[in-house]
């Protein structure tokens, strides 16, 4: 019989009104890489929270067994002692503290009552070597990129003698190269005997790395597939995830006739006084009516910075260049002027600067265009509810009502609200920054369908995306950026992942 390092038996967990987990069985073999997939809201995160003691023993039904012994955690500290370490999507590092302080945060190495700094640094160097990160341990976290920060989280876990490493969407915020490094590291750790559980939406990654794949749907275990023996395809996984087949991830759009150029930038140079250097060099770019233009490139290539510099320059850049919107020369000093000119921007960070999480759906949707629903500055709240209901229906936002607080919605539904907010200003040029990041296959498909509908109605869309297949699948034309420059422009018909990566890594 095979030995399971971890068994979760008949786990059920209820929240008021929702059964988040329904008799889930989850078994992990010693030393394997086990991927957990499922749509948002399928119960992956809840399951991992049960495992890591966030939901203590007694608040769920069922048993957790580690090496065959039933575990009863009363908190995270207990599960850590048992050798479980969880790395969340949102990194839990203290930006103002050094790398070594962060690694040993909570289990500091002391001599007497004072911290043994030399020993700490030496131990930090050891674990940093294990994760293959070459940084000075005295560097502050805030001076490192997300990729390095992710590795430090893993180093932190390793310093606690981890047996089971849980990674929640570890590559969501990473570029291709950092992602590959991270996946290689997980493989390396496997050789050293560490068992990993990885939650991911990126099915390519899952297939390339997993020994076993478990699919959750609606709080139930759908299946557990052995990926070492059989070749599993993306389609198979998707079928299990959504319960039906999606034959084409990128919906076809009818032949849209393209019109005039709606947005154009010429010789766009941007200097960022905060970092003291030029971040965009001589960018030339244009979009036509009815066209989806993709902007691809690695994280840090300057794509979001480009969008922000066009859309009202909220970061205080110094800009030199020409911007034409709907044939008129423009320069926006605040987002409201950009909105007035027919531009809208859907941010990549919907929680950080897209939505007001403590407010409800209707207030988020109406925020950027209150003028539309008010008279002499007084808001017609009935009209607001009606409009929000219309959007809720047409965008298929899943919520009990438009009075639902946005912070309680799933990622895909939040993204739809964020999109609605931008659409309610009735733009003719829409900039979408990572429109499908961290949302599930079903919601992605819906967003793509909406995008198609919008260009068919005559909108211009600029889509910034790190997902190469998405850029190729959805765009008409693609600009590739690297290090603040446009390094290539290709027709989507001629594009391939390989060609884009070549241009993106100059």
Partner 1 sequence: MSVFEELRHLLKKNIREYGMYIALAVIIIAFGIMTDGLFVSARNISTLLNQTGYIMVLAVGMTIIIVCKHIDLSVGFLAGFTGAVAAILMTKHGVSEWLVIPIVMVFGLLVGLLNGFMVGKLGIPSYVVSLAGMFIWRGLLLLVTQETGTIIVPNKGFNAIGNGFIPDIVPDSDVHILTLIIGVAGIAIFIINSVRSRQNKIKYQFEVLSMPLFVIKLVFISIIIGGITWILASYNGLSWTVVICLAVVMIYHFITQRTSLGRHIYAVGGNDSAAQLAGINVRKITYIIFGSMSMLAAVSGILFTSRLQSATTTAGTLFELDAIASAFVGGASANGGVGKVTGSIVGALVMSALTNGMNLMGVDISYQYAIRGAVLILAVFFDVQTRKRGK
Binding region for partner 1 (CB under 8 A): 311-312, 314, 334-336, 338-340, 345, 347, 352-359, 363, 366-368, 370-371, 374, 377-379, 381-383, 385-386, 405, 407-408, 421, 425
Closest CA to 410 of 421, 424, 396: 396
In terms of CB distance, is 80 or 433 closer to partner 1?
433
Rounded-to-10 torsion of CA 178, 349, 460, 505 = -10
In terms of CB distance, is 180 or 374 closer to partner 1?
374
Whether 166 and 84 have beta carbons less than 8 Å apart is answered as: yes
In terms of CB distance, is 433 or 446 closer to partner 1?
433
Q: What three-state secondary structure class fits 242?
A: helix
Question: Could you tell me the smallest distance in angstroms from the CB atom of residue 150 to partner 1?
Answer: 24
In terms of CB distance, is 368 or 451 closer to partner 1?
368
Q: Rounded distance, CA 29 to CA 213, Å?
A: 12
In terms of CB distance, is 236 or 433 closer to partner 1?
433
Question: Could you tell me the smallest distance in angstroms from the CB atom of residue 361 to partner 1?
Answer: 14
Q: Rounded distance, CA 34 to CA 216, Å?
A: 13
Question: Could you tell me the smallest distance in angstroms from the CB atom of residue 428 to partner 1?
Answer: 16
In terms of CB distance, is 154 or 397 closer to partner 1?
397
Question: Could you tell me the smallest distance in angstroms from the CB atom of residue 422 to partner 1?
Answer: 9
Whether 462 and 430 have beta carbons less than 8 Å apart is answered as: yes
Question: Could you tell me the smallest distance in angstroms from the CB atom of residue 68 to partner 1?
Answer: 36
DSSP string, 141-204: GGGS-HHHHHHHHHHHHHTTT-SEEEEESTTTT--HHHHHHHHHHHHHHHHTT-EEEEE-S-HH
Q: Rounded distance, CA 168 to CA 8, Å?
A: 18
Q: What three-state secondary structure class fits 335?
A: helix
Whether 263 and 255 have beta carbons less than 8 Å apart is answered as: no
In terms of CB distance, is 126 or 353 closer to partner 1?
353
In terms of CB distance, is 82 or 385 closer to partner 1?
385
CA-based radius of gyration for the chain: 24
In terms of CB distance, is 188 or 403 closer to partner 1?
403
In terms of CB distance, is 366 or 413 closer to partner 1?
366
Whether 156 and 102 have beta carbons less than 8 Å apart is answered as: yes
Give the angle subtended at the CA of 56 by the CAs of 440 and 48, to the nearest 5°: 25
Closest CA to 330 of 351, 352, 355, 311: 311
Q: Rounded distance, CA 320 to CA 267, Å?
A: 8
Question: Could you tell me the smallest distance in angstroms from the CB atom of residue 314 to partner 1?
Answer: 6
In terms of CB distance, is 101 or 360 closer to partner 1?
360
| Residue 367 CA: distances (Å) to CA of 287, 420, 422, 432 | 27, 10, 9, 18
Q: Which residues contact 38 (CB under 8 A, 6 or more apart)?
A: 44, 215, 216, 217, 222, 241, 440
| Residue 41 CA: distances (Å) to CA of 28, 59, 143, 173 | 22, 19, 34, 20
Q: Which residues contact 208 (CB under 8 A, 6 or more apart)?
A: 183
Whether 133 and 148 have beta carbons less than 8 Å apart is answered as: yes
Question: Could you tell me the smallest distance in angstroms from the CB atom of residue 379 to partner 1?
Answer: 6
């Amino acid at each position: 019989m095979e030995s399971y390092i971890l068994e979760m038996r008949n786990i059920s967990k209820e929240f008021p009104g929702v059964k988040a987990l329904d008799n889930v069985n989850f078994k992990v073999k010693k030393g394997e890489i086990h991927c957990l997939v499922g749509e948002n809201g399928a119960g992956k995160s809840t399951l991992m929270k049960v495992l890591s003691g966030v939901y203590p023993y007694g608040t769920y039904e069922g048993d957790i067994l580690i090496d065959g012994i039933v575990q009863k955690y009363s908190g995270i500290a207990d599960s850590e002692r048992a050798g479980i370490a969880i790395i969340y999507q949102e990194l839990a590092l203290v930006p103002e503290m050094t790398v070594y302080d962060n690694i040993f945060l909570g289990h500091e190495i002391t001599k007497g009552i004072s911290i043994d700094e030399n020993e700490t640094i030496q131990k930090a160097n050891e674990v940093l070597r294990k994760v293959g990160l070459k940084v000075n341990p005295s560097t502050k976290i805030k001076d490192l990129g997300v990729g390095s920060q992710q590795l430090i989280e893993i180093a932190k876990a390793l310093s606690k003698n981890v047996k089971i490493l849980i990674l929640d969407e570890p590559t969501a915020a990473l570029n291709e190269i950092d992602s590959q490094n991270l996946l290689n590291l997980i493989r390396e750790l496997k050789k050293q005997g560490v068992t990993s559980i990885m939650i991911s939406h990126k099915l390519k990654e899952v297939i390339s790395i997993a020994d076993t794949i478990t699919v959750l749907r609606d709080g139930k275990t759908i299946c557990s597939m052995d990926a070492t023996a059989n070749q599993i395809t993306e389609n198979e996984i998707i079928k299990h995830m959504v319960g039906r087949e999606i034959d084409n991830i990128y919906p076809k759009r009818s032949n849209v006739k393209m019109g005039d150029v709606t947005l154009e930038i010429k010789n766009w140079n941007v200097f960022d006084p905060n970092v003291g250097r030029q971040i965009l060099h001589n960018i030339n770019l244009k979009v036509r009516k009815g066209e989806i233009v993709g902007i691809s490139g690695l994280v840090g290539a300057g794509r979001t910075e480009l969008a922000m510099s066009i859309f009202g320059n909220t970061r205080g850049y110094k800009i030199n260049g020409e911007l034409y919107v709907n044939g008129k020369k423009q320069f926006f000093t605040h987002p409201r002027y950009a909105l007035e000119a027919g531009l809208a921007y859907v941010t990549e960070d919907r929680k950080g600067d897209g939505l007001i999480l403590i407010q409800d759906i209707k207030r988020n949707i109406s925020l950027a265009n209150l003028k539309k629903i008010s008279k002499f500055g007084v808001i017609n709240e009935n009209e607001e509810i009606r409009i929000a209901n219309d959007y809720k229906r047409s965008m298929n936002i899943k919520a009990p009502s438009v009075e639902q607080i946005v912070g309680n919605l799933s990622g895909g539904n939040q993204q739809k609200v964020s999109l609605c907010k931008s659409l309610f200003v009735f733009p003719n040029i829409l900039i979408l920054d990572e429109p499908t990041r961290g949302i599930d296959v079903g919601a992605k498909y819906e967003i793509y369908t909406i995008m198609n509908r919008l260009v068919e109605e005559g909108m211009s869309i600029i889509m910034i995306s790190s997902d190469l297949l998405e850029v190729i699948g959805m765009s008409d034309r693609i600009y590739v950026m690297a290090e603040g420059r446009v390094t290539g422009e290709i027709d989507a018909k001629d594009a391939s992942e390989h060609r884009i990566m070549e241009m993106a890594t100059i």
